[in-house]
Every structure is written in C-alpha cells, then in structure tokens.
C-alpha cells in the first residue's frame, strides 16, 4: 500500500504548528525531513533543532534524508531523535554496506538514496542491508525542479534487482511528484515524497490541495 510523505523542507516554520495540524487532518503517512550540509548538495536545510520542534508538535512518523558528505559522523545524532527511516546517499560513506548495517542496528529502517546519475550497480551489493531505495527524480538540493522521466525506467530495473536477490527492499521516489506520476507507478512504490503538497498549503486549505491525491488516499485502510 503506497504511502504519502510530505517534505518538510517547504514548510513555513513560522506557522509550523498550523501546518502540522493540517497534515494530520489530511492523514498523511509520514513526514520527510531533508538534512543538507551545503557541501554534498548546494543548499542548506533542516537540522536537529528543527526535527525536535516538529517532534514536539506531532506524533506523525518521520524519516530523515541525510544529504551529507560524511553521514557516518551524524548517524548517532539523528538516530537519537527517533526517525522511523534514515536515508543516506550511495556516494557519501566510504563503507556503504557497513553504514547501512549500522542504521539497521539502531532499529531504524535503512534507506539508500540514488541520484539521477548514480549507477544502479551501486545498490546491487547492498540490497541485503537496505530496507528502502529512494529514487531521486530530480537532482537533490532544491524543490521546484522538473521531473526526470528516466526515473520510471530506473524503478523497473531496481524491481528486477530486488526480485532477483529476493530481498524485502521497498522503493520510494522523491522529486516533482504529481498525480500522473503516482498513477503510473501505483503500488510499485511504497513511499511518495510530496514536496508540492507542502508548497500549496500556503495557498489553499489542506483538504483542497490534497484532493488530487484523494484517489490513492482512499486505498488506505
């Protein structure tokens, strides 16, 4: 059953409590929290204090997406904040298999993010320690980019790899996700990261901006 995860990078933190209440009303499944260091990607985003502020205002589960050049240095810090899922990028740690295993050892689901240009061979030998593959359908760092259609092909190839190895790895997708993208991918994807929904909260009530996704939301038990 596909799940919807609005990105908190686009939230107006001066109205954080209000926006989180709206997300609760919309019955979103999980919050997506981007952490950027200005080095691995050319932007800065949320940090530990922001996560604490979110955690103090809602009980919605959340993931953390570590867009950091040295994620090993910060895994303990972010793990202590209680995420359900932690993503790192394939290019970031020197010992990828070990890092993913360390995340799992903390009773957190391990996520591996792959950029549009990341070779799929990078994930082949770490599927056994990867709970979720996050396919980036934009180049990471900024919201508001155009969807890269090759993400569809990459997801099909990843599914083949997962089936061949017989792992329980799930797939997520992040970047310019529209109702058309969700329609095409359907249940092939476990987590849809929806930055656009959070943008629209400033222009319309949550229930109205959630309407394009209601078809899939109704599938939820």
CB 216 within 8 A of CB 4: yes
pLDDT for the residue numbered 102:
99
CB 217 within 8 A of CB 27: yes
Report how many domains make up the chain.
1
CA distances from 40 to 14, 88, 196 (A): 27, 11, 23
86 Cβ contact list (under 8 Å, min separation 6) = 63, 64, 66, 75, 78, 79, 103, 108, 109, 110, 111
Q: What CA–CA distance (Å, rounded) separates 66 from 132?
A: 14
The token pair at 10 is: 């686009």
CA distances from 156 to 59, 67, 135, 163 (A): 34, 24, 11, 11
pLDDT for the residue numbered 202:
43
Domain that holds residue 34: 3-217
pLDDT for the residue numbered 212:
52
Q: What CA–CA distance (Å, rounded) separates 71 from 75?
A: 6
Give me the residue label for tokens 């933190």: 13
pLDDT for the residue numbered 140:
87
Residues labelled catalytic:
34, 174
Give the CATH number for residue 35.
Answer: 3.20.20.70
pLDDT for the residue numbered 28:
84
pLDDT for the residue numbered 101:
99
Query: What are the 10-residue block averages of pLDDT along the chain, 221 residues in total?
Result: 86 89 84 95 94 98 98 98 99 98 99 98 98 97 87 99 98 91 91 69 47 48 41
């Amino acid at each position: 059953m596909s799940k919807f995860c609005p990105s908190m990078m686009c939230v107006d933190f001066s109205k954080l409590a209000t926006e989180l209440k709206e997300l609760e009303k919309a019955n979103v499944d999980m919050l997506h929290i981007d952490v950027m260091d200005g080095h691995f990607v050319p932007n800065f985003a949320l940090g530990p204090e922001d996560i604490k502020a979110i955690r103090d205002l809602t009980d919605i589960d959340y993931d953390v997406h570590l867009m950091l050049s040295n994620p090993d240095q910060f895994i303990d810090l972010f793990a202590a904040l209680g995420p359900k899922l932690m993503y790192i990028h394939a290019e970031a740690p020197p010992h990828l298999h070990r890092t993913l295993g360390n995340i799992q050892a903390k009773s957190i689901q391990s996520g591996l993010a792959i950029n549009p240009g990341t070779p799929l061979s990078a994930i082949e030998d770490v599927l056994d320690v990867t709970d979720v593959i996050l396919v980036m359908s934009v180049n990471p760092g900024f919201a508001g980019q155009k969807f890269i259609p090759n993400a569809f092909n990459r997801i099909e190839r990843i599914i083949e790899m997962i089936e061949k190895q017989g792992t329980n790895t799930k797939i997520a997708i992040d970047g310019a996700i529209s109702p058309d993208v969700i329609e095409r991918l359907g249940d092939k994807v476990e987590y849809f990261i929806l930055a656009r929904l959070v943008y629209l909260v400033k222009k319309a009530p949550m229930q109205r901006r959630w309407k394009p996704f209601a078809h899939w939301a109704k599938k939820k038990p």
